Amino acid sequence: MRLKDKIALVTGGAGGIGKATAERFAEEGARVAICDLNEAAGLETIKELGPEASFHKVNVADRQSVQAWIDEVTARYGRIDILVNNAGVLRDGQLVRYKEGQLVGSMSESDFDLILAVNLKGTFNCAQAVAPVMISQKSGVILNASSVVGIDGNFGQTNYVASKAGVIGMTKVWARELGRYNIRVNAVAPGFTATEMVTSMPEKVLDGMKARTPLGRLGQPRDIANAYLLLASDEAAFITGVVLRVDGGILVGT
């Protein structure tokens, strides 16, 4: 029961890594509040998490929506011990795409803006809303979802890589700014993980992912959740400002 009686918030908690993290935290004694845009999945998830769990429909890119959620959670539970900034989206595409010497496509401005709004600004919005609560109680843990591609880069992911690299930068800044208040800030960088979004890809693509991973398999959402659990627990009391790769040893290349 490493998180007994802790109040833990998980964004994007209705599915994938977010849901696995919420479940893992609840198993370790935390009272979990999740948010997501998928209301049906969110309400179903909190049934599994127990009577102390709560769900709110929140767009993390919307500051007012985030603040209303944080205010309501604080009023209900009295404190916030852990925030996992897990919510994120994908809109892949090449910067420019040429065929036979002709420009045939490019990443749209709207796709670039959407990824930055959710993955980067959403992380900023949630952390900024939670920080005053944690400062007032002189303790807290903020955990941010980056990615191995935020470290290594990846073909066809300008927007996603920019957002996840930005999350790493913010993590290091916040660790320095908030450490004086006994608030730890870390990031987790998953590799290829068997979420619904990934497992729906063609078998050939999945085989390629496995072949490029030294451990020979995709990560499971629970693998990533276990990393969040470690960093959220008192076992990581002297760990802040780090990026923990949970990737089976992969190095993303061209």
Of 138-152, 176-190, 240-254, the range with the lowest mean pLDDT is 240-254
The amino acid sitting at 161 is: V
* pLDDT band (50, 70, 90) for residue 195: confident
**What radius of gyration, in Å, describes the C-alpha atoms of the chain?**
18
Q: pLDDT tens digit string along 82-114? A: 999 999 999 999 999 999 999 999 999 999 999
Alpha carbon distance 146, 154 (integer Å): 13
Res 190: pLDDT: 96
* pLDDT band (50, 70, 90) for residue 208: confident
Structural domains of the chain ordered from first start: 7-246 (3.40.50.720)
| CA 112 from centroid of its chain's CA atoms | 18
Q: What percent of the chain has pLDDT over 70?
A: 99
Residue in the structure block whose two tokens are 């930055």 = 116
CB 187, CB 145: distance < 8 Å: yes
CB 107, CB 93: distance < 8 Å: yes
Res 205: pLDDT: 82
Alpha carbon distance 154, 160 (integer Å): 9
Residue in the structure block whose two tokens are 């990737």 = 247
From 98, 160, 181, 228, the catalytic residue: 160
Q: What is the mean pLDDT of residues 17-27?
A: 98
Res 254: pLDDT: 56
- Among 251, 246, 119, smallest CA distance to 190 is for 246
Q: What is the mean pLDDT of residues 194-216?
A: 85
Q: What is the mean pLDDT of residues 228-247?
A: 98
Q: pLDDT tens digit string along 152-167? A: 999 999 999 999 999 9
Q: What is the mean pLDDT of residues 71-77?
A: 97
Res 67: pLDDT: 98
* pLDDT band (50, 70, 90) for residue 253: low
- Other C-beta atoms closer than 10 Å to the C-beta of 222 total 16
Phi, psi of 138 (to 5 degrees): 60, 35
Half-sphere exposure in the Cβ direction for 233 (13 Å, CA): 18
252, containing H or E segment: none
- With vertex at residue 190, the alpha carbon angle to CA 208 and CA 4, rounded to the nearest 5 degrees, is 140
In DSSP terms, 35 is beta-bridged to 11, 56
Q: What is the mean pLDDT of residues 204-212?
A: 86
Of 128-132, 170-174, 192-196, the range with the lowest mean pLDDT is 192-196
- Other C-beta atoms closer than 10 Å to the C-beta of 36 total 26
Residue 39 has pLDDT above 60, yes or no: yes
181 is catalytic: no
Q: What is the mean pLDDT of residues 129-149?
A: 98
Residue 179 has pLDDT above 80, yes or no: yes
